[in-house]
Each structure stands twice: as C-alpha cells, then as structure tokens.
C-alpha cells in the first residue's frame, strides 16, 4: 500500500528524517544522517528508518530497464 508523505514533504523539505517502523511517524530530523542518528539514539530509537526528503517533487513513471 502506498504511503502519503505529503505532510512530511511540506515540513521537512531537503532534510534527513528518522521514521518509526510505521514509515509515517517522524521521530527526528536534521541536516545530516549523523545528526539524525544521534538525535534518534538520544530519544531511544537506535535504528530509525532514514529518509532524505527531496527539495522538490519530481514525477517519475517507469521501471528498471
């Protein structure tokens, strides 16, 4: 099932985010992976899902060759 990350995109453009296992809940955000990992570990989440939020949305249609 597709996940709607519209609100994440609006709030965290260009940043790295650490997500909970539900892939929707943002635990922490920051300018770098290192910063996000440090913040997540401090909050008790040593293994968040990392995601770099794009600065702008670009449509993509296609597959892998």
Residue-wise pLDDT tens digits, 3-15: 888 899 999 999 9
Q: What is the pLDDT of residue 60?
A: 72
Please say whether the beta carbons of 40 and 5 come within 8 A: no
Between strands 49-52 and 26-30, the pairing is unpaired
**C-alpha distance across the termini of the chain, in Å:** 23
pLDDT of 61 over the 80 cut: no
How far apart are alpha carbons 19 and 29 in whole angstroms? 9
Tell me the two tokens of residue 22.
């539900």
Confidence band of 52 (pLDDT split at 50, 70, 90): very high
Average pLDDT over residues 23-28: 96
Q: What is the pTM of this model?
A: 0.82
Confidence band of 65 (pLDDT split at 50, 70, 90): low
């Amino acid at each position: 099932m597709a996940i709607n990350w519209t609100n994440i995109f609006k709030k965290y453009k260009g940043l790295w985010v650490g997500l909970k296992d539900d892939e929707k809940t943002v635990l922490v955000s920051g300018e770098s992976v290192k910063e996000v990992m440090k913040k997540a570990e401090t909050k008790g989440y040593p293994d968040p899902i990392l995601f770099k939020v794009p600065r702008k949305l670009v449509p993509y249609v296609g597959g892998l060759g």
